[in-house]
Amino acid sequence: MNLEPAVKYSHTLLSPIIVQGDTVVDATVGNGNDTLFLASRVGSAGHVLGFDVQQPALDRTATQLTLTGMTRQVQLIHDGHEHLDQYLEPQQQITAAIFNLGYLPGSNKRIITHGETTVSALRICLTHLRRGGIIALVVYYGHPGGEQEKETVLQAVKQLDQQQYSVLQYGFINQIHQPPFLLAVQKR
């Protein structure tokens, strides 16, 4: 067994806690890799809310969902994840959320996630997260603006009360080129 890269390990952590019929969030749909993973976990009775500010990315993901027969359980939303509370009922619980920070490879590198809006969305997710649920953030920070977002997000999660949340950091510390790392926040 090899140690998994951060992006893969986010799925490994979430897989066992998501059951068919759950509601989950993909905060950064991009090309839809996480959306497809989440859709397969929640099944046709579940619900994935997927956000992105780039319509072409959502369109590509919609095609993938059609090809894999998973359109039913996914709502693709052309809006910033910081507006997530407009799409969830106040008492609605989620089991998991995934954030892939940074820019979409092969797309406009200037369209990036930003620390303030990422933390706003994270806080909304935390208010809806059920006990035992996990929010995974894969932090890419090698691009302009990335270091700033990394620091903002790290500062926010480090301050979460340990009585209420467990916060994990996972990543390779001997690799060149600033490899992404994973932050996982579990509600206790």
Ligand X SMILES: C[S@@+](CC[C@H](N)C(=O)[O-])C[C@H]1O[C@@H](n2cnc3c(N)ncnc32)[C@H](O)[C@@H]1O
Bridge pairing between strands 129-139 and 181-187: antiparallel
Size of the site for ligand X (CB under 6 A): 20
Q: Which residue in 23, 25, 30, 137 binds ligand X (CB under 6 A)?
A: 30
Q: Is 180 in the site for ligand X (CB under 6 A)?
A: no
Strands 181-187 and 94-100 turn out to be unpaired
Give every CB contact of residue 12 below 8 A, 6+ residues apart in sequence: 4
Considering the rule CB under 6 A, would residue 160 count as an interface residue with ligand X? no
Segment interacting with ligand X, rule: CB under 6 A, options 13-21, 24-32, 147-155, 157-165 = 24-32
28 interacts with ligand X by CB under 6 A:
yes
DSSP code string of 79-140: S-GGGGGGSS-TT--EEEEEEE-SB-TTS-TT-B--HHHHHHHHHHHHHHEEEEEEEEEEE-
Q: Is 64 in the site for ligand X (CB under 6 A)?
A: no
CA distances from 10 to 13, 57, 137, 151 (A): 5, 21, 8, 20
**Binding piece for ligand X, criterion CB under 6 A, among 16-24, 32-40, 155-163, 166-174:** 32-40
Interface pattern 94-113 for ligand X (x via CB under 6 A) = ------x-x-x------x-x
Return residues touching ligand X (CB under 6 A). Answer: 28, 30-34, 51-54, 57, 80-82, 100, 102, 104, 111, 113, 117
